Amino acid sequence: MKAIQIVKPGELRVIDMEKPSLDAENNVLVKIRASGICGSDVGIYHGTNAAATYPRVIGHEIVGEVAEVGPGVTTRKPGDRVIIDQVTACGKCYACRKGRPNVCQHLAVRGVHIDGGYREYMAVPEKDCYTLPDFLEYKDAVMIEPTTIAVQCCSRAQLESDDDVLIIGAGALGSSLLRIVKLFRPHSIIMADIDQPKLDEALKNGATAVINSKNEDLVARAKELTGGYGPTVTIDAACVKGSLLSACQAAGNATRVMTMGFSVAPDEINQFVITSKELDIRGSRLQNRKFGEVIRLVNEGKVELRGTVSHTFPFLEAQKAFDFVDSRDPSIRKISLIFD
Ligand code: MN
């Protein structure tokens, strides 16, 4: 079978790989039908993802059709349309024992630390497969995974209806956060970015106020929009130099600041801004078994995933797709690689 491998940073290749066979653990064979291109896949291609190892078959937004099941499999049958959980964990370390396998000490993420979904077939444990909503095409179903990332962040933030939420960054991550944050019906949702068209879109999609931090003072404006107190949940979805400090400065006393970035570049932060307000700074990584919840929200019509995928490419033309991403064409929202 064919697969797309990042041999080393900057080098993408179509390779031949042995079709996986079933064993006691990986007892469901999935014929991949679509895989999304995520910012982190692009990072692995460019060598800017600190977590990745090479060579690697990338892709962690993986949907397909069950082709074969092993003996003893009861919850899956050939023909089932599924999405595959990207997280694999040891089940024994402290994080796993605390029910947090997404930060397992021996975490292996499909498409990052172990081979992922840019290939024709994958063999996975049945517990890692989740049934897709019937009405959702494969190309759109890849959006379930980025949505789980947003659900994870809201869960880590213990978001409630009396919260004033500030989301810094209105790109792909920020807009998928907005989609989930608004389901909690918080008191307010403020979005900040330096790109006005993205902010206009955020307003259309349910943000209650926006801050263009290119020409407005982010911290002062966030305070003003929250009656002087500051947001009670501040999410750094921009993850750029200075964004964490701004988030902490904007945040109100006794509130939560969420980080989602993976940059290893040193950034300025001081203890005063954290200690004086007793901020809880919490990381949110990947997702902890959130697929079921997102699929339920989609089935109930509370989350619309159709309309976000802007482009599709046949998976063997992955190089073209990644070049297109690099062109930073403004029409790009989400790209799905399609398999026949
Ligand atoms: Mn992703």
pLDDT digits (tens, 9 = 90+) for 208-227: 999 999 999 999 999 999 99
Q: How far is the CA of 117 from the centre of ligand 1 (A)?
A: 12
Contacts of 28 (CB under 8 A, 6+ apart): 22, 66, 68, 69, 70, 73, 76, 123, 124, 125, 126, 129
Q: How far is the CA of 111 from the centre of ligand 1 (A)?
A: 10
Q: How far is the CA of 43 from the centre of ligand 1 (A)?
A: 11
Residue 49 scores a pLDDT above 90: no
Quick one: CATH architecture of 148-283? 3-Layer(aba) Sandwich (3.40)
Q: Give residue-wise pLDDT tens across range 154-209.
A: 999 999 999 999 999 999 899 999 999 999 999 999 999 999 999 999 999 999 99
Residue 131 has a pLDDT of: 98
What average pLDDT does range 27-49 have in this prediction? 95
Q: How far is the CA of 206 from the centre of ligand 1 (A)?
A: 23
Residue 45 scores a pLDDT above 90: yes
Residue 335 has a pLDDT of: 97
- pLDDT-derived band at 68 (thresholds 50, 70, 90) equals very high
Q: How far is the CA of 110 from the centre of ligand 1 (A)?
A: 11
Domain positions in the chain: 2-143+305-338, 148-283
Q: Please measure the distance between the N-terminal and C-terminal CA atoms of the chain and give it in whole angstroms.
A: 13
Residue 51 scores a pLDDT above 90: no
Q: How far is the CA of 212 from the centre of ligand 1 (A)?
A: 26
Q: How far is the CA of 60 from the centre of ligand 1 (A)?
A: 6
Q: How far is the CA of 245 from the centre of ligand 1 (A)?
A: 25
Mean pLDDT rounded to a whole number for the chain: 97
**Percent of all residues in the chain with a pLDDT value above 90, rounded to a whole number:** 95
Q: How far is the CA of 305 from the centre of ligand 1 (A)?
A: 14
Residue 21 has a pLDDT of: 96
* Topology at the third CATH level for domain 2-143+305-338: Quinone Oxidoreductase; Chain A, domain 1 (3.90.180)
